[in-house]
Structure 1
Amino acid sequence: MASYEHVQFLRKAAFNIIVNARDDQAALKKYAQALETILVYLDRPEIRDLAAGNIYLKFCGFNLRLDLAETYGKLKQQDKAVKTLQEINDISWTPILLKVMKDRPGLAKMADDPRVQKILSVAAIPRQLWPSEAAYPYSATLSVEERVAGLSQFWHQVRESFVYFDNVPELDWNKVYLEYLGKVIAAGTTEEYYRVLSQLAPLLRDGHTNIYAPPELSKKLYARPPLRTAMLDNKVVIEAISSPALKARLAVGDEVLSIDGIPVQDYAKQYILPLVSSSTEQDRQLRTYGYQLLAGDADRPITLGLRNMSGLERSEVIARSGHADIEKKEAFIFKMLPGRIAYLSLDHFESDEGVRKLEKVFPDILQAKALVLDIRKNGGGSTQFGADILSYLTRQPIPFSKSYVRSDNGYSRSDGADIVWKVIGGKGSEAHYSRKRVFDGPVAVLTGAATFSAAEDFLVSFDTLQRGLKIGEATGGSTGQPILVYLPGGGHGRICAKRDTYPDGREFVGIGIFPDVEVRATRESLAAGEDVVLNKAVSLLNQRKQ
């Protein structure tokens, strides 16, 4: 990153030349010369080599050329301005250029130049090749051509970008295309089409590779009652209920014996498992018997065959929709436990809300003898927010996962059908912070199968730092960076295009991150309202602080 920071320093120094003299011709000429000098530096062979593996450094040339083109325009040097804009297209064809040209008055004046119009038409090409969501409005039926196009788009992008084919070595992706071609051609409606496509992505066995139906079909396909189930000791039990009205009819710990008259495990294997995209057995079980088990048509209630803790059996008809009394669980809960052990739940990293919560209660945490961070329900979000939280627990740099993307393309494959890897992170990939105070007491992190994605990135950093204990169950075993593919009818697909490992190369995607101390809830502990994982953490932390 030293070269990137150096370029940013030089760019700021150059800007200072005109900060108080923006229209002064002498200052503008001096500014242009400074920008030209920086671009000469970026064009040095060793810096070009660095930029090939650092997108931030590479796009410094983009930003500098925008500044330079605008400056040439102010100096009435139109030919130089046009040449500089063309050099931007030599770096990247990006529709962002069209927006920047409109937003910067100095550049907007050049828009009537036919040479500039040609440059902008080239920059707009990616919009034509990869249309946005707005290009695919919802329709209850799709033409055969549209249905085949959607399958082809997803299939092709998987072949070009997917990074975990080694987790499905037996899968013949070319054969899959031919099999699904007939299925999508036979699909009569958009709903039927997406029911077919929803079974395609799970063949890749990756938690970050999915196909989702259009929002207009959500109530038809994804409606769920306000309760959560889980598989415990080979039994499906009710784990949580979020409606007071349902609590009067159901109880945490009730065993689910059947759904709509079908034995629950048979129902799950027939109707749910084929739709589950997952990287590990624990995530597959969580989704099959948890997240997705009760999903379906909002207008069709489900009949649950139940057995309570006393062994009495009964049936309950539960609506998938229309519950007006749904209780929302707070995502970030702080409390001080006996023995001055601080507890903070972090249920997502989708925003900086968790970081702000930690900062708010940090004075209390500093007074604690130990800390428990609960990420058992954290499905991910941004890796950065996890790093921000860890920065309050150590003065060490926060290490990130080692990451890879595919760099093979049609040209590279002309000499052989190879998949080529490009490292975009590693032991040098880390974040540096300067906190005034950090908590340096014992820490335990609670984990489970629902610990997923950016929450696992957090755990990789925590583990690499050897900052404390991991207690609970193995994580979901799936992270990465999915790319979006917009599909006909308004649906979309995700494809995992970034592969992650520990900084030292250890794999966890497709495996999970295992706890130092394994603790599992039981049906009895659920029914009693006992959190056995948290209790174990408190017990171990009390031993450590003595």
Structure 2
Amino acid sequence: MRRSFWLFALLAAVGAMPGAEAQQPTMPTVGVELRGDTMVYRTVRVPDRRHGGLRGRAWAGYSHTPWTAEQKLFALSKFWMEVRRNFAYMDRFGVERWDSLYRAAILPAQQTRNDVEFYRLLEGLCAQLRNEQTFIRHSRNFPQTAVHFDDGWTLRLMDVGGHVLVSEVSRDKAAILPPGSEILTVDGRPVEAKLGEVMPRISASTDRVRRRMAVEEMLLDLVGTPHEVTFRRPDGAEACVRLVNARHAPEADSACVALPGRSWRELHEDFRVTWYPGDVACMKIGSFRPGRVFRAFHDAFPGIRDRARGLIIDLRWNERGSSRMAAEFLSHLTRDTVLYGAVWRTRVYDAALASWGSDATPADTVGNARVKLAYEHYNDAAFSDPVRSEYRFPRNREVLEVPTVILINDATGSAAECFLAIAASQPGMSTVGTATSGCAGTVAMYELLPGLQCGICTREVRFSDGKEFVGLGIAPDIEVEDTPADLLVGRDAALERALGLLGVPAE
């Protein structure tokens, strides 16, 4: 106990040091300890930055201590409780089903042999909710990687038409394992068997996204873990490499070669404008976060407005941001001063109403709104009234109205899907690609233990006409799939189709 006291005192002192960004707002962090039959909670205020950074480092000393069985039970229970109370789609998933999964996990959670095993158990539990906006995260000191390996290897994988391809590799390893090579087995097991092991712990809203993310994490493991990977090169030759998970070396990021247009940096680029014949502009928007993306758009927009006769908006791999920012972008592509977006609602709870509904039966609710409301609160089924997102803009803003095609794929999500919900009512706009990720919503973050957090989707979102897309994805007007052959020659089939719709002849 005395050692724990000094540990907490040391952590508090670290947070007060001048070099620890003391000017940032502080955030309470909870430590958990079992005294006899009593769970004790202790709070230490440590520096925090909204987008990562100091919080994990401030707790670094603590995070080296493995979680105890009692702490694991607390984390599991808190996750169960917060999901039960806040998850927007609990009415569809089922409270009884969630309670049953929790009860089934209690003993296995306490019996996990280490922190990683417990973390993956929580991931598996969370994945059953089938919602990408509900997830488990850690900042513990068990370094894992799916991309970086010993001997200078950097390797990124992607799912293309049911094939697992190498999309990017270290430049000095490309002669051994060139981009476009297909992974055949991992540790002697077929790729599909390996993916079957990974997918059950992936939090995703659709099966397509779950598979994509499982491919990206197929080699995820602790530093020092070896893998024997067999592959088929583009020339048909087969070979095997040994990859050992290693810590990330930043200098390795800039020394890679990739399939044409498929490097991680290109796919996740913040903003880019490319011109095509006929004065067609293609505007790549990597996110709808406030800040540099929006500034880049405003800097480029006058030139686009003055020249463009057609417009392509590339929202592939746009997975983050604000729905308000998405509406702001779209407001410059229509003269409408009021834009209507998605309809949302969230779960609500009133303890007094719940107590009044505790003795009610479904039959009692028929024709009685007050009893029905009380019954819903008691049974965790009460929701706020639906709210239709509405955005107003001045008439004198700069606007470009031209035929517009929007490129989407299964990594188009969150605010980008809100963009599509607004664009659905706009004439002259169409979509090309594959169905989106189906994961719009608002996330509430909760700390389960120091170094262990969860995010929970708290808003149910639909199209303005009530049609659902969360868990399904938004289907394009014209579906265009990538093929391995297209990627090997650098062909972007969806972009080509979009250009064709805008009158640009194929090369």
**Mapping of 1:246-325 within 5 angstroms?**
246-270=173-197, 272-289=198-215, 291-321=216-246, 322-323=248-249, 324-325=251-252
Deviation of 1:233 after TM superposition, in Å, equals 2.9
Distance 1:251-1:280 versus aligned 2 partners, 3 A rule: same
Counterpart in 2 of 1:408? 349
Distance 1:171-1:541 versus aligned 2 partners, 3 A rule: farther
Counterpart in 1 of 2:333? 393
Normalised by the length of structure 1, the TM-score is: 0.70
Q: Deviations over 1:67-106 (max 9, x none)?
A: xxxxxxxxxxxxxxxxxxxxxxxxxxxxxxxxxxxxxxxx
Counterpart in 2 of 1:420? 382
Describe the SS at the equivalent of 2:503.
helix
1:482 aligned onto 2:443: yes
Percentage of matched positions with identical amino acids:
27
Q: Find the aligned partners of 1:167 and 1:464 in 2 and give their Cα distance.
A: 28
Q: Find the aligned partners of 1:320 and 1:338 in 2 and give their Cα distance.
A: 46
Q: Find the aligned partners of 1:412 and 1:130 in 2 and give their Cα distance.
A: 36
The answer to whether the Cα contact below 8 Å between 2:310 and 2:502 also exists between their aligned partners in 1 is yes
Highest RCO, 1 vs 2 (Cα 8 Å, sep ≥ 6): 2
Counterpart in 2 of 1:363? 302
Q: Find the aligned partners of 1:515 and 1:171 in 2 and give their Cα distance.
A: 36
1:349 aligned onto 2:288: yes
Describe the SS at the equivalent of 1:401.
strand
Q: Find the aligned partners of 1:216 and 1:223 in 2 and give their Cα distance.
A: 18
Q: Find the aligned partners of 1:191 and 1:389 in 2 and give their Cα distance.
A: 41
Deviation of 1:287 after TM superposition, in Å, equals 1.1
Deviation of 1:320 after TM superposition, in Å, equals 4.1
Distance 1:517-1:301 versus aligned 2 partners, 3 A rule: same
Q: 1:195 aligns with which of 111, 120, 132?
A: 120
Q: Find the aligned partners of 1:402 and 1:303 in 2 and give their Cα distance.
A: 49
Q: Which has the higher helix share?
A: 1
Distance 1:320-1:441 versus aligned 2 partners, 3 A rule: farther
Q: Find the aligned partners of 1:436 and 1:165 in 2 and give their Cα distance.
A: 42
Letter aligned with residue 232 of structure 1: V
Q: Find the aligned partners of 1:303 and 1:181 in 2 and give their Cα distance.
A: 35
Answer with 1 or 2: which has the greater Rg: 1
Deviation of 1:257 after TM superposition, in Å, equals 0.4
Q: Find the aligned partners of 2:228 and 2:76 in 1 and give their Cα distance.
A: 35
Q: Find the aligned partners of 1:434 and 1:251 in 2 and give their Cα distance.
A: 53
Deviation of 1:462 after TM superposition, in Å, equals 1.4
Q: 2:130 aligns with which of 191, 201, 205?
A: 205
Normalised by the length of structure 2, the TM-score is: 0.75
The answer to whether the Cα contact below 8 Å between 1:142 and 1:489 also exists between their aligned partners in 2 is no
Describe the SS at the equivalent of 2:384.
strand
Q: Deviations over 1:173-228 (max 9, x none)?
A: 111111111012112433332122121100111111111122423x2366656443
Deviation of 1:464 after TM superposition, in Å, equals 2.6
Deviation of 1:131 after TM superposition, in Å, equals 9.4
Q: Deviations over 1:48-68 (max 9, x none)?
A: xxxxxxxxxxxxxxxxxxxxx
Describe the SS at the equivalent of 1:400.
strand
Q: Find the aligned partners of 2:281 and 2:433 in 1 and give their Cα distance.
A: 18
Describe the SS at the equivalent of 1:159.
helix
Deviation of 1:167 after TM superposition, in Å, equals 4.8
Distance 1:541-1:130 versus aligned 2 partners, 3 A rule: farther
Distance 1:338-1:246 versus aligned 2 partners, 3 A rule: farther
Describe the SS at the equivalent of 1:256.
strand
Deviation of 1:377 after TM superposition, in Å, equals 0.9
Q: Find the aligned partners of 1:144 and 1:319 in 2 and give their Cα distance.
A: 30
Counterpart in 2 of 1:234? 162
Q: Find the aligned partners of 2:93 and 2:135 in 1 and give their Cα distance.
A: 15
1:463 aligned onto 2:424: yes
Distance 1:235-1:355 versus aligned 2 partners, 3 A rule: same
Counterpart in 1 of 2:6? none
Letter aligned with residue 443 of structure 1: T
Q: Find the aligned partners of 2:347 and 2:486 in 1 and give their Cα distance.
A: 46
Letter aligned with residue 408 of structure 1: Y
Describe the SS at the equivalent of 1:429.
strand
Deviation of 1:144 after TM superposition, in Å, equals 2.5
Q: 2:319 aligns with which of 373, 376, 379?
A: 379
The answer to whether the Cα contact below 8 Å between 1:478 and 1:509 also exists between their aligned partners in 2 is yes
Letter aligned with residue 250 of structure 1: L
The answer to whether the Cα contact below 8 Å between 1:350 and 1:380 also exists between their aligned partners in 2 is yes
Q: 2:433 aligns with which of 452, 456, 472?
A: 472
Q: Find the aligned partners of 2:419 and 2:169 in 1 and give their Cα distance.
A: 28
The answer to whether the Cα contact below 8 Å between 2:169 and 2:177 also exists between their aligned partners in 1 is no
Q: Find the aligned partners of 2:157 and 2:321 in 1 and give their Cα distance.
A: 23
Stretch moving more, 167-176 or 336-345: 167-176
Unpaired stretches in structure 2, ≥5 consecutive residues: 1-40, 49-54, 255-264, 358-374
Describe the SS at the equivalent of 1:421.
coil
1:333 aligned onto 2:333: no
Describe the SS at the equivalent of 2:252.
coil
Stretch moving more, 486-495 or 312-321: 312-321
Distance 1:222-1:307 versus aligned 2 partners, 3 A rule: closer
User: Which segments of structure 1 move beyond 4 Å, counting only runs of 4 or more?
Assistant: 127-137, 221-226
Letter aligned with residue 459 of structure 2: K
Letter aligned with residue 302 of structure 1: H
Describe the SS at the equivalent of 2:494.
helix
Counterpart in 2 of 1:86? none
Unpaired stretches in structure 1, ≥5 consecutive residues: 1-126
Q: Find the aligned partners of 1:167 and 1:252 in 2 and give their Cα distance.
A: 42
Describe the SS at the equivalent of 1:200.
helix
Describe the SS at the equivalent of 1:464.
coil
RMSD of equivalent CA atoms: 2.7
The answer to whether the Cα contact below 8 Å between 1:131 and 1:486 also exists between their aligned partners in 2 is no
The answer to whether the Cα contact below 8 Å between 1:387 and 1:431 also exists between their aligned partners in 2 is no
1:516 aligned onto 2:474: no
Q: Which has the higher strand share?
A: 2
Letter aligned with residue 418 of structure 2: D
Deviation of 1:403 after TM superposition, in Å, equals 0.8
Letter aligned with residue 346 of structure 2: V
Counterpart in 2 of 1:121? none
Letter aligned with residue 460 of structure 1: A
Q: Find the aligned partners of 1:261 and 1:369 in 2 and give their Cα distance.
A: 54
Letter aligned with residue 308 of structure 1: R
